[in-house]
Amino acid sequence: MDIVSRIRQTKRTPLLQVVKTSVAVVVAWFVSLALLEQALPIFAAIAALLVVLPSVNQSLVRGLERSVGVIGGVVLAYGAGQLLGDSTFVVLALVVVSLLLAWALRLTPSSANQVPISAMLVLAIGAQTPGYAVDRIIETIIGAVVALAVNALVVPPVLLAPAHLAVGRLARDLAAVLDDLAAVLVSPDADEARLTAMLERARRLRDLQATAVAAVTAGEESLMLNPRASRQRSLLEADAATLTRLTALVHRVVAMTRSVRDNHDESLADDPVVAGISVELTRAAHDVRLLAREADEARVPGRVDDLPALTAPLTVLRPDPVHWVLVGSLLEDLRRVREEIIGA
């Protein structure tokens, strides 16, 4: 196991994020000093450090989680300190009680961890000091508010480009699999290795689809409470709509590829209906690429000038006595592929 790879990311955190976090910590520290006259406003610095996140929405949620956890921990520590003191047994018992209380209340992991941490810090540092518990709560709120303000003023990036690239790659790879499928159907010499490789490429579409979903979700997250959201939302909505149609196509194409992989033989190439299906799959590949270009149309008006290539469904006058199950399955799948592409 490579220990270094376990503790390092493949990409650095954006420098802007580091700068915003540093600014938030410094501002929260001095604001707490000015308002509370505390020598070391650690709780404010910690809150600011944890609340500056990639999006304003995430910062708001984390700030609420942090505040709830600190308030709960401080209240528990203050009560325990007043009643039982601050011995080792009390500290350990308080940690256990804090964890059980967080579990019973179904708090989020961030809030649940913060309750015992805050309780230990308060009990160990100054639960017996008058006003100490209240000051720690105010410190935390100051840190969270400052972090949220810094994150909102220095606007986080809108993550639209990664979403668009992920959807575009999914469309291109999906079209490539359709082209492969079309070519295999009319190739009498398609061997086992080629069929298996085609199926593996089709199955990898699921990973690309999951990546695209995550990228679109991250894009939506970055738009929440973001001042630039009104200008950018329509672009992301176009990618999300395209992804919805591509997702249905991925499931359909993987099933078609598996059917061909399991039932292919060299005589398929002689069937005129199969040849027609191959042509329609090639046209479907063209139209899948067109879907991605239509999403580009939202960014560059007037760019798309191609027309959909799919024609009317094929007509089969007499079923093939050997391959009729496979042919019938492909025809039905092709019909559904066409409906997804044209949005029927």
Higher local confidence (pLDDT), 81 or 33: 33
Token pair listed for 179: 């082209």
Q: Is the pLDDT of residue 185 over 70?
A: yes
Q: Is the pLDDT of residue 302 over 50?
A: no
- C-alpha distances (whole Å) from 272 to each of 22, 178, 323 are 69, 19, 12
Distance CA 343, CA 248 (A): 11
Distance CA 325, CA 64 (A): 58
Please report, as a single letter, which amino acid is at residue 253.
V
Q: Is the pLDDT of residue 316 over 70?
A: no
- Tell me the average pLDDT across 275-304: 70
Residue extents of the structural domains in the chain: 10-153, 161-342
Distance CA 342, CA 335 (A): 11
Q: Is the pLDDT of residue 226 over 70?
A: no
Q: Which segment of 26-35, 131-140, 265-274 scores lowest on mean pLDDT?
A: 265-274
Distance CA 181, CA 183 (A): 5
pLDDT at residue 301, as a whole number = 46
The distance from CA 29 to its chain's CA centroid, rounded to whole angstroms, is 33
Q: Report the share of the chain in percent with pLDDT over 90.
A: 1
- Tell me the average pLDDT across 50-76: 76
**pLDDT averaged over the chain?**
76
Largest CA distance in the chain: 92
Token pair listed for 42: 């650690």
Distance CA 159, CA 169 (A): 16
Higher local confidence (pLDDT), 159 or 139: 139
Q: Is the pLDDT of residue 304 over 50?
A: no
Distance CA 202, CA 72 (A): 51
Higher local confidence (pLDDT), 16 or 225: 16
pLDDT at residue 294, as a whole number = 62
User: Which tens digits make up the pLDDT trace of 144-175?
Assistant: 888 878 877 776 666 677 788 888 889 889 98
Placement of tokens 């700030």 in the chain: 63
Distance CA 90, CA 103 (A): 20
Q: Which segment of 125-134, 247-256, 262-271 scores lowest on mean pLDDT?
A: 125-134
Distance CA 208, CA 42 (A): 44
The C-alpha R_g of the chain, in whole angstroms, comes to: 29
- Tell me the average pLDDT across 103-126: 79
pLDDT at residue 238, as a whole number = 78
Q: Is the pLDDT of residue 213 over 60?
A: yes
Q: Is the pLDDT of residue 218 over 50?
A: yes
Non-local (6+) Cβ contacts of 270 within 8 A are 188
